[in-house]
């Protein structure tokens, strides 16, 4: 129960932060990113609320794949392409997790005397789990979560390095503007824009952390079913 609440809460928090950042810095969070975050949040809620309904699991899987394709459409060469790709990969991982849960339900339904997906896969006969069964799908899901977290961490470190260099340049430029404007309207607008960018960065950092938590919980849930 605690894991379910944590996954839903972190997914909703990630979507809220993404939408908030999109309002503050629209250029850094395009519609592709916003729809990916919203679909992931709704998908994780559906995974928990839907219980063992195969139709809901299939819908989540399809939604995750479609969202992933939309999430990278038209982003090639853009400054926000990496972040959009990470969100799209999150949709693919969610789809794989949903398929793993769906496979569990199918195998369990075919073996009503079994007590769970792993036991059902074993009861289905040797080699059955190796051809699309719960074991390879759960491993794929866990691997996807690990790869996604690694990419997100690498992107954060690289992004902060770039921001550090840009901040030094920006500080010198701001000092020049303030000196010339002498406290005029131009200086006020510059401070407002800087504040908006800072708020957007904070929201994006919070989104990344919340997304990481939700993905880890979801991957762990798939591994233990």
Give the pLDDT confidence score for residue 159 in this predicted structure. 59
Each residue's pLDDT tens digit, 17-67:
999 998 888 888 899 999 999 999 999 999 888 767 889 999 999 999 999
Q: What is the pLDDT of residues 108-117, one digit of tens each?
A: 665 554 444 4
Residue 15 predicted with pLDDT over 80: yes
Burial class of residue 111 (count of CB atoms within 10 Å of its CB; 0-12, 13-18, 19+): middle
CA 45 to chain centre: 14
Task: Compare 157 and 218 and report the one with higher pLDDT.
Answer: 218
135 alpha-carbon distance from chain centroid: 23
- Name the more confident of 80 and 144: 144
The pairs formed by 152-161 with CB atoms below 8 angstroms and a separation of 24 or more are 152/86, 152/208, 152/211, 152/212, 155/82, 155/83, 155/86, 156/205, 156/208
Residue whose C-alpha is closest to residue 190's, from 170, 174, 167, 172: 174
Kindly list the domain boundaries of the chain, sorted by start residue. 2-224
Q: What percent of the chain has pLDDT over 90?
A: 32
């Amino acid at each position: 129960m605690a894991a379910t609440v944590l996954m839903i809460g972190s997914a909703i928090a990630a979507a809220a932060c993404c939408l908030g950042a999109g309002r503050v810095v629209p250029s850094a969070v395009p519609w592709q990113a916003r729809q990916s975050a919203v679909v992931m949040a709704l998908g994780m809620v559906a995974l928990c609320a839907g219980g063992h309904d195969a139709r809901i699991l299939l819908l989540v899987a399809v939604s995750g794949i479609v969202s992933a394709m939309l999430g990278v459409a038209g982003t090639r060469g853009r400054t926000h392409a990496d972040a959009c790709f990470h969100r799209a990969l999150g949709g693919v991982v969610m789809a794989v997790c949903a398929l793993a849960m769906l496979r569990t339900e199918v195998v369990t339904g075919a073996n009503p005397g079994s007590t769970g997906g792993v036991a059902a896969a074993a009861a289905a006969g040797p080699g059955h789990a190796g051809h699309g069964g719960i074991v390879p799908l759960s491993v794929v899901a866990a691997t996807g979560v690990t790869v996604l977290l690694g990419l997100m961490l690498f992107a954060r470190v690289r992004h902060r390095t770039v921001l550090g260099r840009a901040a030094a340049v920006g500080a010198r430029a701001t000092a020049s503007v303030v000196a010339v404007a002498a406290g005029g309207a131009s200086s006020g607008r510059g401070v407002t824009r800087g504040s908006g960018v800072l708020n957007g960065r904070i929201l994006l950092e919070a989104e990344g952390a919340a997304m990481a938590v939700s993905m880890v919980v979801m991957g762990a849930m798939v591994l233990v079913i």
